[in-house]
Structure 1
Amino acid sequence: MTTNNARVDPAQFLEHLRAFRYREVTMTAAALVVLVGAVVLFPGAGNVTAGIRADVGASTLALFVAVAILAGAIKGMLGFGYALVATPIFATVIDPTLAVVVLAIPPWMINMFQIGETDTGLDFVREEWLLMLLAGIGAVLGVSFLAAYSTGPIVPFLIGLVILGYVIFQVLQGFVTVEEAHHPVALSVAGFLEGFLLAVSNLGPLLPAYFHTFERDAERYIGGLSMVLGLIFTVRIVQMALFTDLMTTYRLWLGCVIAVVTLVGLLAGTYLRRVEVNETWFNRFVVGLLFVISLNIFRKTIPALFL
Structure 2
Amino acid sequence: MLSAGTLALFIIIAFMGGTILGLTGFGFALLVAPLFFLFLPPATTVPIINIISVVLSILLLSNTFRKIQFKKVSFLLTGGLIGLPFGIMILVFVPAHVLKIAVGIIIALFAFLNYLGFKLKTRHERTVSTITGASGGLLYGSIGIPGPPVILFLVNQECDKNALRANISAFLAIIGTVSIPGYFIGNLLTPDVIKYVLIFIIPAVLGLMTGTKLVHKVNEVLFKKILLLLLIVTSILSILSGFGLIGDR
User: Structure 2 vs 1, CA of residues 178 and 154 (structure 1 numbering), >3 Å: closer, same or farther?
Assistant: closer
Which residue, 210, 214, 221 being the options, matches 2:164? Answer: 221
The aligned residue for residue 133 of structure 1 is 78
Q: Distance between the aligned counterparts of 1:68 and 1:191, measured in 2?
A: 26
Q: Which amino acid aligns with 1:141?
A: F
The aligned residue for residue 41 of structure 1 is none
Deviations for 1:205-237, whole angstroms, at most 9, x for unmatched residues? 110122123232222221111111111111111
Q: Distance between the aligned counterparts of 2:50 and 2:230, measured in 1?
A: 21
Contact 1:104 1:202 in 2 (8 A): yes
Q: Distance between the aligned counterparts of 1:177 and 1:208, measured in 2?
A: 11
TM-score normalized by structure 1? 0.73
The aligned residue for residue 242 of structure 2 is 301
- Within 5 Å, give how 1:200-215 maps onto structure 2: 200-204=142-146, 205-215=148-158
CA shift at 1:128, angstroms?
4.1
Contact 2:37 2:241 in 1 (8 A): no
Which residue, 181, 186, 210 being the options, matches 1:244? Answer: 186
- Within 5 Å, give how 1:251-290 maps onto structure 2: 251-273=193-215, 275-290=216-231
CA shift at 1:182, angstroms?
8.9
- Within 5 Å, give how 1:1-307 maps onto structure 2: 53=1, 56-120=2-66, 124-125=69-70, 128-149=73-94, 151-173=95-117, 183-204=125-146, 205-241=148-184, 243-273=185-215, 275-302=216-243
Structure 1 unmatched ranges of 5 or more: 1-52
SS at match of 1:85: helix
Deviations for 1:65-86, whole angstroms, at most 9, x for unmatched residues? 1001111111110111000000
Deviations for 1:56-106, whole angstroms, at most 9, x for unmatched residues? 221111101100111111111011100000010111122232111221111
Q: Distance between the aligned counterparts of 1:189 and 1:178, measured in 2?
A: 14
Deviations for 1:121-173, whole angstroms, at most 9, x for unmatched residues? 8x744664332121112112211221122x34111011111111111112221
Identity percentage over the alignment? 23
TM-score normalized by structure 2? 0.89
Q: Distance between the aligned counterparts of 2:152 and 2:182, measured in 1?
A: 26
Q: Distance between the aligned counterparts of 1:294 and 1:127, measured in 2?
A: 29
The two structures, once aligned, show a CA RMSD in angstroms of 2.3
User: Structure 2 vs 1, CA of residues 126 and 78 (structure 1 numbering), >3 Å: closer, same or farther?
Assistant: closer
246-255 or 164-173, larger mean C-alpha shift? 246-255
User: Structure 2 vs 1, CA of residues 120 and 247 (structure 1 numbering), >3 Å: closer, same or farther?
Assistant: farther
CA shift at 1:260, angstroms?
2.1
60-69 or 248-257, larger mean C-alpha shift? 248-257
User: Structure 2 vs 1, CA of residues 182 and 75 (structure 1 numbering), >3 Å: closer, same or farther?
Assistant: farther
Q: Distance between the aligned counterparts of 1:177 and 1:143, measured in 2?
A: 30
Q: Distance between the aligned counterparts of 2:192 and 2:242, measured in 1?
A: 27
179-188 or 230-239, larger mean C-alpha shift? 179-188
Contact 1:197 1:203 in 2 (8 A): yes
107-116 or 206-215, larger mean C-alpha shift? 206-215
Q: Which amino acid aligns with 2:112?
A: I
Q: Which amino acid aligns with 1:168?
A: F
SS at match of 2:159: coil
Q: Which has the higher contact order (CA 8 A, sep 6+)?
A: 2
How many pairs align?
A: 244
Q: Which amino acid aligns with 1:266?
A: L
SS at match of 1:103: helix
CA shift at 1:248, angstroms?
1.7
Quick check: which has more Rg, 1 or 2?
A: 1
Q: Could you list the runs of 4 or more consecutive aligned residues of structure 1 that deviate by over 6 angstroms after TM superposition?
A: 177-182
127-136 or 289-298, larger mean C-alpha shift? 127-136
Contact 1:180 1:214 in 2 (8 A): no
Q: Which amino acid aligns with 2:41?
A: D
User: Structure 2 vs 1, CA of residues 61 and 177 (structure 1 numbering), >3 Å: closer, same or farther?
Assistant: closer
